[in-house]
Structure 1
Amino acid sequence: MSKRDDGSFDEFMRSSSPRLLRLAWLLTGGASSAEDLVQETLERVYVAWPRIEAGGTHNYARRVLVNLHTDSHRRGWRERLTDEVPETAQSDRSDQVVLADHLTVALGELPVRERQCVVLRHHVGLSERETADVLHIGTGTVKSSTSRGLARLRALLVPEGDRHV
């Protein structure tokens, strides 16, 4: 590292790892795959650290993470979902954790592009333009993918009798 090696990467890593892990978890649907994705992201950010502008480090890391996730699906490293759920003690779990589990499963049902758009727009809070830039797609694609993804999530998460038009 040349000009920005004064501990700034360590500070960046500590401050951004929780956010990157949440994003990775929502994109992958699993803790271990999310941790692997964040670790590879931080490795790549570390290598590029001297070239990254000080104010753009979080955006750069988020873009690397999403690109790595996209690449992993293109190469076919996808885990297969099953209908069999391992035994868990439901009585110990809060409603919020159960809801997060349902959301994770529902997000896993979405195609990759729709899941990425929904997570970046509604969890990370990026604008349509920022999401399009991160994913290297047009804003129209972001709008349509987000719309389809949200409609599919509603169908998966909200009982049919509770849906309002």
Structure 2
Amino acid sequence: MSDIDCLDPVRKALLDDLDEGFAELYGAHRGLVFSTALRLSGRWADAEDLTAEAFLRAYRALAGYDADRIAALQPRAWLMTILMNVWRNCARTKSRKPPPDLRDEPVDTVDPGEGVEAAAVRRETGDELAELLGRLPEEQRAAVVLRHVVDLPVSEIAEVLKIPQGTVKSHVSRGLKRLRAMGGAR
């Protein structure tokens, strides 16, 4: 059995054919990347943009990687690192521009199979969570989202955010404490 046979299906597919492998990578991780982007940005349209940009950058990067680098890749942590960089860059750019006119904000999409009551509860809960997460400092928001939405282990979060594991634990703990305090104050 060769080393390539021991790889997960996504990395094996990337090594076999970049385009088909990327389609598998996208299919396996698009929900996770979008969910993380939504929690970080707080807006559906921004999350779609962040997700698209993250996958575009991932594809461009993969095109320049050799087989050994692809074989060693940890796709989930790697995609989260790219997403975090895209998010930070967008946040910097937005801080230099005036806010958009909210009258142009698109209406949230609805799952046609979802009942009205379930959709209302999901929307209300999601909006509340997004609003609370948006009030956290950037480093705490990122750590909480990566730990409790993406479910990354502390070691991978440290790698993604390029900070020590102890700092990750501190950011998560302080972020959760703030969320609890904000949630109780409502």
TM bin (shorter chain): 0.7 to 0.9
Question: TM-score, normalised to structure 2's length?
Answer: 0.71
**Count of matched residue pairs:** 152
2:25 corresponds in structure 1 to 12
Q: What TM-score, normalized to structure 1?
A: 0.79
**2:94 pairs with 73, 77, 99, which one?**
77
Deviating more after overlay: 48-57 vs 59-68:
48-57
Kept in 2: contact 1:132–1:138 (CA 8 A): yes
Q: 1:53 is matched with which residue?
A: 70
Hey, what's the Cα distance between the residues in 1 that align with 2:154 and 2:74?
18
Residue type matched to 1:10 in 2?
A
Paired amino acid for 2:135: E
Task: Tell me the secondary structure at the aligned position of residue 126 of structure 1.
Answer: coil
* Deviating 4+ runs (over 4 angstroms): none
What is the root-mean-square deviation in Å for CA atoms of aligned residues?
2.7
Gaps of 5+ in 2: 1-13, 100-104, 108-115
> Cα–Cα, structure 1 residues 2 and 149, in superposed 2: closer, same or farther, change >3 Å?
closer
Instruction: Check whether the contact 2:15–2:21 (CA below 8 A) recurs between aligned residues.
Output: no
Distance across 1 between alignment mates of 2:133 and 2:124: 14
Q: Deviations over 1:55-74 (max 9, x none)?
A: 5233211210012212333x
Tell me how far apart the structure 2 counterparts of residues 17 and 95 of structure 1 sit (CA, whole Å): 24
Distance 1:60 1:4, change over 3 A: farther
Over the matched positions of the two proteins, sequence identity in percent amounts to 33
List runs of 5+ in structure 1 lacking aligned partners. Answer: 81-85, 161-165
* CA spacing shift, 1:127–1:101, aligned 2, 3 Å: same
1:68 aligns with: 86
**What's 1:129 paired with?**
155
